Amino acid sequence: MKPQPQNWTHFADFKAVRARRTEVLVVSRDTDFLFELGSILQGRFRVRTVDSARVIAPTSAAARWLAIIDTASPADARADVALMQEQHPLAPMIVVTHSPWQWSAALARGNIIAAIAREELRSARLTDAISTAERRLAGEHSVPASARSASTLMRSALPLLGLLLLDIAFAAWWLRSGPGGNPGLRGLLLGASAVATLLLPISLYHLRRARELLAAAAAAQCQAANILGSMREGFFLIRRDLRLGASCSGSLNELLRLAAPAGRRFEDVLKPLLDAQTLSAAVTFLRLLWKDEANAQAIASINPLSQVEVSFASAHGGSEQRHLSFAFRRVHGTDPAGDCIVGVVDDVTDRVLLARELDRTTADSDSQAGLLLQQLRIGAVALQAFLDAADTAFRKSNAMLTAPGIGQQQLHKKLHGVLRELQSVKSEAATLTLASFTARLQRIEETLLALSARVSLSGNDFLPVVVGLDELISHAATTRAIQAHIASLQATPPESASAARPIHDPSSTIGAAMSEHS
Amino acid sequence: MSSETEVGVFVNSVLHYFESTVQQDAACGTPHLALRRHPELSDYTGIVKISGQRDGVVLFTAPRSMLCVMLMCMRDTDMSHDNLCELVGEIANTLWGNARRSFRHQVSISVQSVAHERDAPMVYPANSRPIVIPIAWRSYHARLVVCLDS
């Protein structure tokens, strides 16, 4: 028998309740889930449960609450979430699901704070997400300074206006009551009512002004939320304690692959992504940026995170390398407590890879000249023998990779087989001082050695090896073509060569061969 | 963008498709090069053509039996030729979508098409060797073929 969640209030209409504790609305039909969640949330929250989002009253839009939606049990969970997003755009939502990756797009925008795997319910991710939701609630309900002053003004203006009207009404009644009163008191009252009459339009003006300010503040807040939600770059604030502020752009989650970055220590956010040295430099840099006497321009030039390579764990094993660029700027508030560091992060992987490709192309054109020199230095027979041996080794390596089997033992066997083959080619290339081959083989060897140190391998891990092998085969073909051209030039008698080509230019012929095969 | 990154995007797209749509993980075999002859095609092949900085073609080829079981996993009982074409086209569409998102303006990716013949003529870029990535799902084997010119 399933344990019953007796400490849960079951109701169908979620009403706006003034409460100190945060209201948590749980949408789930799974009693096991409710029971487990109940034990996690304990008494910290005022918890309500509903079977479906459809039974939540639309009037509750004004209520301060966050929602935890179990998308693992109901069949129409996505529709539930969509409905809640539409009807309660201000309510932060946490989605519990069997497949969190399917919600990555939804996380980047809207009011979904985090998508948590059902199995991770007891992990820190849920409590982190709830903390973020609470901060967001607090942030949305705490209006900016202008709006605060406007609302204060409204609160103070209303009783004053009431008093003025009362004073004027009392003075009018006194004047109408007859001439038998105290002349001093009557004069005082007349004076007071005259002042009150003068103050009335001023009060009305300030009241109207306060309303306008409130409306402007609400519009500005809405605009800021829209901007943050649609930003492609990750925008965040860093407080003096080096924790991330509550305001951050929606894309930050996607860029840093974090469910709820707000409120976390910046160091903790970067820890899984960077090496210890870079991380330490980043923290030092931020501390420097917080120093009042520091020159912001000079410090910006030593930003250790201006371009960093980060490694994200891939869902299919292995890791994904991305290049991120962080920029920081100290922003001074009206008071020191309002100071913060504005951080912007962008994914510059495309730019970095393009730059690398450009470098490689330049290096390749340099190496082609080197290749020509190598070939002129080495005897044709030795080079031919090397190319034949290399071709056999490359084909043998490819045949090993083609063989079926994706078990760990089979993958390790393939890895060692390919490594052995390529190492023999590399030693031969090194003997002949064929630097272009040695460098390429060295790169593949390093990849293979790194893989051999790993306990668990997947087929995907061999991708750099195959790409490297493809590159080697292309390079061997280019070398062979150049060698054939050199051989044909050497074989042609000088007379017939000059007759056939009045302007003899071997470099152009070789260049054409290179471009043809490169 | 290097070949490794490009091929990685396509491999992850296919694996993610199985994980999310069929709710059962597929495994990636060891990639290898199709040397001397073109890669063998199965019953149904989804094709994505790429042009721009690099020209080439990406294929997902799978046997009929595998596609039928995939449809069953999706609670679809229509095993007609059109529906199988639609399924393989959907996988090609996923590849297309992910490539567009990952490579952005670097490449232009043309509309995907579907071939239903093992011997369907396939045009590969000259001077290139297709990279074949075996995809194992349950007891079935499909192939992802990525062929981009260098």
Give the gap in angstroms from C-alpha B112 to the nearest C-alpha of chain A: 24
* Encoded tokens for A314: 């891939």
Pair type for strands A46-50 and A9-10: parallel
What is residue A19's predicted lDDT score, i.e. its pLDDT?
38
**Which long-range contacts does A75-80 make (Cβ < 8 Å, 24+ apart)?**
A76/A52, A80/A27, A80/A52, A80/A53, A80/A54
Angle at B24 (CA atoms; ends B23, B26), nearest 5 degrees = 135
Residues B148, B55: Cα–Cα separation, whole Å: 6
CB contact under 8 A, B127 and A460: no
Q: In chain B, which residues have their Cβ closer than 8 Å to the Cβ of A463?
A: 4, 7-8, 11, 31, 133
Q: Which of left, alpha, beta for B50 (phi over 0: left; psi -120 to 50: alpha)?
A: beta
Is the pLDDT at B131 greater than 90, yes or no? yes
Pair type for strands B56-62 and B44-52: antiparallel
Among candidates A395, A406, A463 on the partner chain, residue whose Cβ is nearest the Cβ of B4: A463
Contact between A89 and A109 (Cβ < 8 Å):
no
Give rounded-to-5 percent helix, strand, coil for chain B: 35, 30, 35
**A286 lies in the same domain as A335:** yes
**A193 lies in the same domain as A166:** yes
Residue of chain A nearest B4, judged by CA positions: A464
Angle at A386 (CA atoms; ends A380, A389), nearest 5 degrees = 140
Question: Which domains, and CATH codes, for chain B?
Answer: 3-148 (3.40.1550.10)
What is residue B68's predicted lDDT score, i.e. its pLDDT?
93
What is residue A55's predicted lDDT score, i.e. its pLDDT?
67
Residue A201 in domain? yes
CB contact under 8 A, B31 and A463: yes
B111: burial class by Cβ within 10 Å (0-12, 13-18, 19+)?
Answer: exposed
**A505 lies in the same domain as A362:** yes
Domain of residue A85, CATH code: 3.40.50.2300
Residue A162 in domain? yes
Residue of chain B nearest A321, judged by CA positions: B5
Residue A185 in domain? yes
Into how many domains does chain A fold?
4
Written as tens digits, the pLDDT of chain A (518 aa) is: 333 333 333 333 333 333 345 778 888 877 778 777 877 776 667 777 777 777 676 544 445 688 888 887 665 677 777 777 777 777 888 888 877 766 766 665 567 888 888 877 877 778 888 888 877 776 544 444 555 555 565 666 667 777 777 777 777 777 766 666 676 777 777 787 778 777 878 888 888 888 888 888 888 877 877 787 777 888 888 888 888 887 788 788 878 887 777 788 888 888 888 888 889 999 988 888 888 777 777 777 888 998 888 888 765 555 677 889 999 988 887 777 778 888 999 988 878 888 887 777 777 666 667 777 777 777 788 888 999 999 999 999 999 999 988 888 999 999 999 999 999 999 999 988 888 888 889 999 999 999 998 888 888 899 999 999 998 998 898 888 888 888 787 776 655 544 444 444 444 444 444 444 44
Examine the fold and report which residue of A347, A363, A389 is the final residue of a domain before the chain moves on: A347
Domain of residue A264, CATH code: 3.30.450.20
**A183 lies in the same domain as A221:** yes
Residue with tokens 């060698």, as numbered in its chain: A483
**A459 lies in the same domain as A425:** yes
What is residue A73's predicted lDDT score, i.e. its pLDDT?
66
Query: What b/e readout covers A165-190, taking b as 16+ CB neighbours within 10 angstroms?
Result: eebbeebeeeeeeeeeeeeeeeeebe
Examine the fold and report which residue of A97, A122, A141 is the final residue of a domain before the chain moves on: A141
Any idea of the CA torsion for A434, A435, A441, A444, to the nearest 10 degrees?
A: -170
Angle at A222 (CA atoms; ends A235, A156), nearest 5 degrees = 120
Residue A112 in domain? yes
- SS3 string, A322-383, reads EEEEEEEEEECCCCHHHCEEEEEEEECHHHHHHHHHHHHHHHHHHHHHHHHHHHHHCCHHHH
Residue A22 in domain? yes
Give the gap in angstroms from C-alpha A447 to the nearest C-alpha of chain B: 13
Among candidates B12, B16, B27 on the partner chain, residue whose Cβ is nearest the Cβ of A459: B27
Q: In chain B, which residues have their Cβ closer than 8 Å to the Cβ of A403?
A: 30
**A335 lies in the same domain as A360:** no
Residue A332 in domain? yes
**A383 lies in the same domain as A420:** yes
Contact between A254 and A271 (Cβ < 8 Å):
no
**A399 lies in the same domain as A359:** yes
**A374 lies in the same domain as A446:** yes
Residue A112's domain spans which residues?
9-141
DSSP-based three-state secondary structure for A246: strand
| Residue A127 burial (CB count, 10 A) | 14
**A116 lies in the same domain as A158:** no
- CA distance from start to end of chain B: 11
- CA distance from start to end of chain A: 71
Contact between A51 and A9 (Cβ < 8 Å):
no
Cα A199 to chain centroid, rounded = 55
Count CB pairs under 8 A between chains A and B: 91
**A161 lies in the same domain as A135:** no
Among candidates B12, B27, B131 on the partner chain, residue whose Cβ is nearest the Cβ of A470: B131
Contact A138/B at CB under 8 A: no
The pTM of this model reads: 0.52
**A153 lies in the same domain as A272:** no
Residues B62, B79: Cα–Cα separation, whole Å: 14
Residues A62, A59: Cα–Cα separation, whole Å: 7
Contact A338/B at CB under 8 A: no
Residue A182 in domain? yes
ipTM: 0.90
Residue of chain A nearest B130, judged by CA positions: A470
Q: In chain B, which residues have their Cβ closer than 8 Å to the Cβ of A402?
A: 30, 32, 132
Residue A1 in domain? no
Is the pLDDT at B84 greater than 80, yes or no? yes
pLDDT, tens only, B32-59: 999 877 888 889 999 888 887 778 889 9
Among candidates B12, B27, B32 on the partner chain, residue whose Cβ is nearest the Cβ of A398: B32
Residues A429, A419: Cα–Cα separation, whole Å: 15
Task: Report the amino acid identity of residue A480.
Answer: R
DSSP-assigned states of every residue in B80-128: -HHHHHHHHHHHHHHHHHHHHHHHGGGEEEPPPEEE--TT---PPPTT-
φ and ψ of A171, to 5 deg: -65, -40
* Encoded tokens for B82: 């059109």
Residues A105, A98: Cα–Cα separation, whole Å: 16
Examine the fold and report which residue of A295, A319, A347 is the final residue of a domain before the chain moves on: A347
